[in-house]
Structure 1
Amino acid sequence: MAEITGDQRVQSEVLEGLATAVNHRRWFVELAVPHLGDNPIEIGSGLGDYALEWARHVPRFTATEADPDRLVQLKERLADEPTIEVQQMLLPHTGRGDHSAAVSYNVLEHIEDHVGALRSMRDLVRPGGKVIIIVPAFQFAMSPADIATGHVRRYTKKTLAAAMTEAGLAVETIHYANALGLIGYFMATKVFRLMPKEGPMVKVYDTLVLPATKAAEQRVRPPFGQSVFAVARVPG
């Protein structure tokens, strides 16, 4: 069983900092909503920011987390949410399920056996359901921040599609997202060697730059981006 790599304390600090990027989160929440179905499961819920947003759109939602300390925090935060179940989960695993979708944002890049992890997500979803993924894009942007948070790779559309196909999934949608974010991330983390934590830079980008980026990308898909977004169908 493969565990997520990296410094859990640093990962938690980054999660807490990025929780302030409200517009960014809402954009990525919206990307997944049409594909969630009635009973989705999230792999790697972190501190529960996405789970709380998605749960408003579905009758039932399952949030999961691998790290024991964050799992405790997640259970405490979601204790008063009657439609959300919280479980511990490591990937790959051998369990099966009947979920309408498995959604996993910024998790796959932490897992050495990413094809095995995708197969595990596939097995948690009923035939015809969806596996919804967001991962960081482009290996040239691999920075000290990536290493500190346990990233073992970054992706292109081609490499993510290949991994999903090898896992027995049928890719339906795949595109880059947040083109200006890639430039900002590269400059901040690779050139200036900063961590993507809460601060004025994140706030200014989220408030002023991101809404314009989102509006533009809803009209024209960019040839690059900070993230790769993909939706694949479980055959059968």
Structure 2
Amino acid sequence: MADITGDQRIQSEVLEGLATAVNHRRWFIELAVPYLGENPIEIGSGLGDYALEWAPHVPRFTATEADPDRLVLLKERMAAEPKIEVRQMLLPTTETADHSALVSYNVLEHIEDHVGALRSMAQLVRPGGRIILIVPAFMFAMSQVDIATGHVRRYTKKTMRAAMTEAGLEIEKLHYANALGLIGYYMATSVFKLAPKEGPMVKIYDTTVLPVTKAMEKVVRPPFGQSVFVVARTPS
């Protein structure tokens, strides 16, 4: 973990820290796989950690990134991946497409007009296709880390349902994920004023706490979590 006070490198450090949380990433990879179809698109691919693990499950995969600098790095990283097309995309957009699904993890919370963004997402997916999202949960956990990384909100199941409904999407699955992660995140970022960063604390969490949480949540859905997971269907 790193002291976040006055740290201008916070966004890069958070991304690097989360990239080392391999078990966390693979859990969230598994959540989306049943809904991807044959030709999904990802919004906000970053450096492509999720894209590289989703691609083996599908014939084609489109990875997108809005930030020009990250887009260059993403293209370089995916150059040897024939299944993966890389392109720039910023939401909201007027573009339309016929993807089997759209997946976007920890992106919607950055967008002021999130309903407009959801409508744009729906236009990129064929009728009856899926929108698969993960977003951070609970406004009480909004911290300097959230602000430094450009978050404008955190969600509950209720607020996510409202946004989806306003965008004309039908929710198929909606639940919290990573209950113990929320407690740890709140303590680290709001109490101790730390930010996720590559190091022993992230590794210990990922190798010891995360597997226990995942196993528990396969049995019982928790009433809270660090994230909200949602699958919605586009109008047919």
The TM-score, its normalising length taken from structure 1, stands at 0.96
Q: Is residue 125–residue 234 contact of structure 2 (8 Å, CA) maintained in 1?
A: yes
- Displacement of 1:9: 5.0
- The amino acid across from 1:88 in the alignment is Q
The equivalent of 2:76 in structure 1 is 76
CA distance in 1, matches of 2:97, 2:196: 35
Q: Does 10-19 or 150-159 show the bigger shift? A: 10-19
Q: How does 1:76-155 map to 2 (within 5 A)?
A: 76-155=76-155
Task: Report sequence identity in percent.
Answer: 82
Residues 10 and 145, structure 2, Cα contact 8 Å, conserved in 1: no
1:222 to 2:231 alignment: no
Q: What are structure 1's unaligned runs of at least 5 residues?
A: 1-6
Aligned partner of residue 195 in structure 2, secondary structure:
coil
2:102 maps to amino acid: A
Partner of 1:3: none
| Structure 1 counterpart of 2:156 | 156
Secondary structure at the residue paired with 2:194? coil
Counterpart amino acid of residue 186 in structure 1: Y
TM-superposed deviation, 1:168: 1.0
CA distance in 2 between partners of 1:9 and 1:167 (Å):
34
TM-score normalized with structure 2 length: 0.96
User: Distance between the aligned counterparts of 1:163 and 1:8, measured in 2?
Assistant: 32
- Residue 13 of structure 1 and its aligned partner are, at CA, apart by 2.4
Question: For residue 192 of structure 1, what is the aligned residue in structure 2?
Answer: 192
Alignment RMSD: 1.1
CA distance in 2, matches of 1:111, 1:187: 26
Amino acid at match of 1:93: T
Aligned to 1:232: 232
Paired position in structure 2 for 1:170: 170
Moved over 2 A (4+): 7-13
Report the CA distance shift for 1:8/1:121 in structure 2 as closer, same or farther (over 3 A).
Answer: farther
Aligned to 2:39: 39
Q: 1:8/1:65 Cα in 2 relative to 1: closer, same or farther (>3 Å)?
A: farther
Give the partner amino acid of 2:161: A
Answer yes or no: is the 8 Å Cα contact 2:135–2:229 preserved in 1: yes
Does the 8 A contact of 1:45 with 1:65 survive in 2? Answer: yes
The whole-number CA distance in structure 2 between the counterparts of 1:16 and 1:190 is 20
**How many equivalent residue pairs?**
230
Is 1:21 aligned to 2:24, yes or no? Answer: no
Cα gap change, 1:9/1:64 in structure 2, threshold over 3 Å: closer, same or farther?
farther
Counterpart-to-counterpart distance in 2, 1:12 and 1:40: 27
